[in-house]
Amino acid sequence: MKVLVSGGTGRVGRYIVEELLAAGYTVIIGGRHAPLPRFFSRPVEFAPLSLDPTHDHIEAFDDAYFFVHAAFHHLPGKYRGGEGDDPETFKRLNLDGSVRLFEAAKRAGTRRCIFISSRAAYGEHAPGTTLMEGMPEKPETLYGHVKLDAERSLAHLAAPGFATASLRLTGVYGDLRPNKWDKLIEDYLAGRHLPSRAGTEVHGRDVGGAVRLMLEADANRICGETFNVSDVTLDTWDILEHIRWERDCLNRLPLPADKSQLTPMDTAKIRALGWSPGGMPLFNETIHTLATRT
């Protein structure tokens, strides 16, 4: 079956594409430019696609049985605050443009539409609160509002023959380059001061597995639903301690952060469908790879 993936060359989308290719799907990359040759481990197709809501891209969905929407317009390296000084364009492309694509997918006869959302849709909650699907959302950033509104718009379009689901991701790490921890590792090895920070993370391969699950699960169990996708809790000490030993670096590590102040996401809902992330073993494998090739 063919899957159209918007944003497939991005830092998150690339893991999704690789998981689908490994599972035997034919992947169509939807974007402004075709990916470079050999960017992916296997050949992919390409369809012109953009977030401009004035364009109707229904032709991109002609051969797509499924649609995974991972594209997002933002300032480089920033999601929260990614609107910069142009919030109107940020909202027009990421909300209006996304809804336009959802509608085109439905009109074209695409069978499932999976939206890559964010934990930012929950907004701020008291430290130690466990975030669960169905609890009141109160996003405090434009990024969170846009993600939440897009989720709701997609769920409203759900119908027999057009199953929809949104995945609320926590921070996504992995071993592909460029890597989200490249700058952190570079700064540590250079002896620069680093603050203590903690966060919740999930490996990109496990995100790909969650997307694949949404495509293969019984439609009645996922249609119109939102699922949390999160795995391990890490801080800068956890990451850099491995780098220190692998690189025999004597630079001082940042102090461990207070992880009790985090608001972790409960993942029981997606685990009940069979999702099983890699946990600390996968983190240890990944950080070893990053440490030995940096």
Q: What per-residue confidence (pLDDT) applies to 132?
A: 98
pLDDT over 90 (residue 77): no
Encode pLDDT of 212-241 as tens digits: 999 999 999 999 999 999 999 999 999 999
Q: What per-residue confidence (pLDDT) applies to 123?
A: 95
Summary mean pLDDT of the chain: 94
Share of the chain above pLDDT 70, in %: 97
pTM, rounded to two decimals: 0.95
Encode pLDDT of 158-182 as tens digits: 999 999 999 999 999 999 988 999 9
Q: What are phi and psi of 198, to 5 degrees?
A: -125, 155
Give DSSP secondary structure letters for 177-198. Answer: SS-TTHHHHHHHHTT------E
To which H or E segment does residue 115 belong?
A: strand 112-118
Q: What per-residue confidence (pLDDT) applies to 14?
A: 97
Separation CA 162–CA 14 (nearest Å): 25
Q: What are phi and psi of 28, to 5 degrees?
A: -105, 120
Q: What per-residue confidence (pLDDT) applies to 281?
A: 98
Q: What are phi and psi of 141, to 5 degrees?
A: -115, 155
Torsion sign, CA atoms 110, 135, 270, 218: negative
Q: What per-residue confidence (pLDDT) applies to 294?
A: 55
Q: What per-residue confidence (pLDDT) applies to 85?
A: 74
Separation CA 256–CA 236 (nearest Å): 7
Structure token pair of residue 82: 């990614």
Q: What per-residue confidence (pLDDT) applies to 84?
A: 72
What are the residues whose beta carbons fall under 8 Å from the beta carbon of 70, sequence distance 6 or more?
Answer: 5, 6, 7, 8, 10, 12, 13, 16, 116
Which of 191, 284, 192 minimizes the C-alpha distance to 234? Answer: 284
DSSP letter assigned to residue 62: T
Residue 137 banded pLDDT, cuts 50, 70, 90: very high
Q: What per-residue confidence (pLDDT) applies to 78?
A: 57
Measured from the Cβ of residue 171, the count of other Cβ atoms closer than 10 Å reads 16
CB 222 within 8 A of CB 30: no
CB 84 within 8 A of CB 76: no
* Domains of the chain: residue spans and CATH: 2-176+200-231+264-277 (3.40.50.720)
Share of the chain above pLDDT 90, in %: 91
CB 105 within 8 A of CB 42: no
CB 1 within 8 A of CB 28: no
Residue with tokens 């009141």: 136
